Amino acid sequence: MIIAERKPMSEILDMVKDAKKILVLACRGCVSVCSAGGEREADILASLIRIGLKKEGKKAKVSTGSLVRQCDKEYIDAIDQFKGTYDAIVSTACGVGVNFIANLRPKDTVYPGLNTSFMGGSAEQGIWAEQCGGCGDCVLHLTGGLCPVVRCAKSLMNGPCGGSVDGRCEIHNDVECIWQSIHDRMNRIGQADGLDRIAPIRDWSSATHGGPRKTVRDDLTVS
C-alpha cells in the first residue's frame, strides 16, 4: 500500500490561511490502512486546523468528508455532495488523490494534508517499511523476492557492496543489508547459482527517469 504521514501543522495552516470554508477530505484507501488519511485521521486533522486557526485568532468553517478512493474519476465525482461547503479542500489522500482532484476539478483549490512517503507494508503495529520502488522493471524473480532497487541504499544490482558488515548496511546499523539477505535466502531456497549471473547495466527509463509513466491496457479500455 501507499504509506503517508501528516504534514506539519505549520505547513497546513499556511496553506489554508485565506480559506473561509475548508473541507478535510479523507480517502478510505491505502492511507486509511496506514492510519494517515482515513476518516479518523481527517477528523483529527480538522480539529487541529480549527484549534490552530483559533490560536491565530482566525475563523473558518472546517468540515470533513470522505471518498472511497481518490484515485478514480468515479469517486472524485462524489465531491459534488460537498458542493458549497468549501472554498479549499485539504486532501488526506496520497499525492495521487491530490493530483486527481486537481485534474478533475479545475476550479477547486486542493492542498495536500499528507506527505506521501513510499510503497510499503506493515512491519509491525505502528511501523511501516518500504518494500517496492515501483521501478517498472521488476527483478524480484532474480533476487529471492527481496527488492534491491529500494531496499538497498545504493540500488545495487550486483551486491553487496563493500560497506556491508554483519548483515547491516553501512548507512545505518538499523538497516539490514538486503544483499546479504538476498544471498542468505537464495542459498536457503537452493537458487544460489542464480547469483553467479552478473546483472547488466540497468535501463532506468521504466522508472521515473523516463518521465511520467502510463499503463495502457487495450483489453480494458472502452471508447
What does the binding site for other proteins look like in residue numbers (CB under 8 A)? 8-10, 40, 43-44, 47-48, 50-52, 54-55, 57
- Which residues have CB under 8 Å from 184's CB, separation 6+? 167
* Residue 46 C-beta: closest distance to other proteins, Å: 9
The residue (of 64 and 181) whose beta carbon lies closer to other proteins is 64
Degrees to nearest 5, angle at CA 119 with 48 and 190: 150
The residue (of 44 and 156) whose beta carbon lies closer to other proteins is 44
The residue (of 81 and 125) whose beta carbon lies closer to other proteins is 125
Give the Å distances, CA to CA, from 200 to 6, 151, 179, 203.
Answer: 39, 19, 17, 9
Q: Is the preceding peptide bond at 148 cis, omega within 30 degrees of 0?
A: no
The residue (of 43 and 170) whose beta carbon lies closer to other proteins is 43
Q: What's the gap between Cα 57 and its chain centre?
A: 34
* Residue 10 C-beta: closest distance to other proteins, Å: 7
* Residue 23 C-beta: closest distance to other proteins, Å: 17
* Residue 21 C-beta: closest distance to other proteins, Å: 17
SS3 132: strand
Task: Compute the Cα dihedral for 57, 60, 65, 69 and give only its sign.
Answer: negative
